[in-house]
Structure 1
Amino acid sequence: MNAQRHPPPITIATSDYNRLLSTAIIQQEHDRRASNFLLEELRRAKVCHPSELPEDIVSTNCRVIFRIDDEPKTRAYLLVHPDDLIWPGAEISVTTPLGTALLGLRVGDRMSFIEEGTAHEVVVEGIGLRFLDDGTAITRTPGSIWWV
């Protein structure tokens, strides 16, 4: 794992930003470390209207393909708000250290995070399916990966 000097810029849709800000404040009582990491990321984020979110940016309700610590095999999970978590084997909460690290990254970006006292680095390999806010429709973005 390479040490990261400066975290990459991140972009977050206003809908994610507003919901996660409330969640992080509420979460302060239960998990201060995770909450502080999420608040730090929200503070440094460029915020945009959901329709202006670039297609290669990780957001909630999108399937993200990534590697941790240069491991040989990629992982693919749907990044979700913790209140929307229903399939833990296929989804990851955006309030976990890994989920927060992924939020707002572009394909190809690397981000450091700490989980259970151990430093890690995640790299975004691709964006798969992106679900619309109402959860009923799926959009396909150019270059998206359908088979993961």
Structure 2
Amino acid sequence: MNAQHRLPPITLATSDYNRLLFTAMIRQNQDRPTPDFLLKELRRADVCHPAALPEDVVSTNCRVIYRIDDEPKSRAHLLVHSEDLTWPGAEISVTTPLGTALLGLRVGDRMSFVEDGRIHEVYVEDIGIRFLDDGSTVTRTPGGITWT
């Protein structure tokens, strides 16, 4: 992996941006470690209204299909805020290095992240289902988008 690799642009909904910034501020006030990677990503993000978030962008409450380090098998997890984590086997917290790396990427993007002292690269293959704040869902299919 080339150290000069350009970071892909990221887009965040204002709701995710505000909640994650609040989480980081609370952690700082409680003298808890604040993930520097998360703060760097928040600083460089393009922020938009949740309704304007492109359908192919990873956000919280969406199922993201991805690969790490060119693994032969894809992984799929629901990306959630750390305080919403209820099912660790199926969900990943956005405050983990992998979760932060996924946040705001588009389908087809690659992003480096460091975990356990090792540099990894995540590749976003697809977005499965997105749960909206009003309880409805958005599903991407080859034929378009389905709202339920």
TM normalised by structure 1 equals 0.90
Matched with 1:76 is 76
Q: Which runs of 5+ in 2 are unaligned?
A: none
Residue 8 of structure 1 aligns to a residue whose secondary structure is coil
Whole-angstrom CA distance in 2 between matches of 1:119 and 1:31: 20
Whole-angstrom CA distance in 2 between matches of 1:121 and 1:25: 27
Q: Does 1:30 align with 2:32?
A: yes
Shift of 1:141: 2.9
Whole-angstrom CA distance in 2 between matches of 1:30 and 1:115: 19
Residue 20 of structure 1 aligns to a residue whose secondary structure is helix
Matched with 2:137 is 138
TM-align CA RMSD:
1.6
TM normalised by structure 2 equals 0.90
Whole-angstrom CA distance in 1 between matches of 2:38 and 2:81: 12
Residue 99 of structure 2 aligns to a residue whose secondary structure is helix
Whole-angstrom CA distance in 2 between matches of 1:51 and 1:3: 35
Shift of 1:24: 1.6
Matched with 2:89 is 89
Matched with 1:19 is 19
Matched with 1:99 is 99
Query: Which protein shows a greater Rg?
Result: 2
Q: For residues 37-72 of structure 1, what are the alpha-carbon distances to aligned partners after superposition, in whole Å with 9 as ceiling and x for unaligned?
A: 101000000000000000000000000000000010
State the identity %: 69
Q: Which runs of 5+ in 1 are unaligned?
A: none
Aligned residues: 141
Shift of 1:142: 4.1
Whole-angstrom CA distance in 1 between matches of 2:54 and 2:104: 10
Q: For residues 63-84 of structure 1, what are the alpha-carbon distances to aligned partners after superposition, in whole Å with 9 as ceiling and x for unaligned?
A: 0000000010000000000111
Residue 133 of structure 2 aligns to a residue whose secondary structure is coil
Deviating beyond 6 angstroms after TM superposition, the runs of 4 or more aligned structure 1 residues are none
What is the 5 A alignment of 1:40-119? 40-119=40-119
Residue 140 of structure 1 aligns to a residue whose secondary structure is strand
Whole-angstrom CA distance in 1 between matches of 2:103 and 2:46: 12
Residue 63 of structure 1 aligns to a residue whose secondary structure is strand
Shift of 1:26: 2.2
Whole-angstrom CA distance in 2 between matches of 1:132 and 1:63: 12
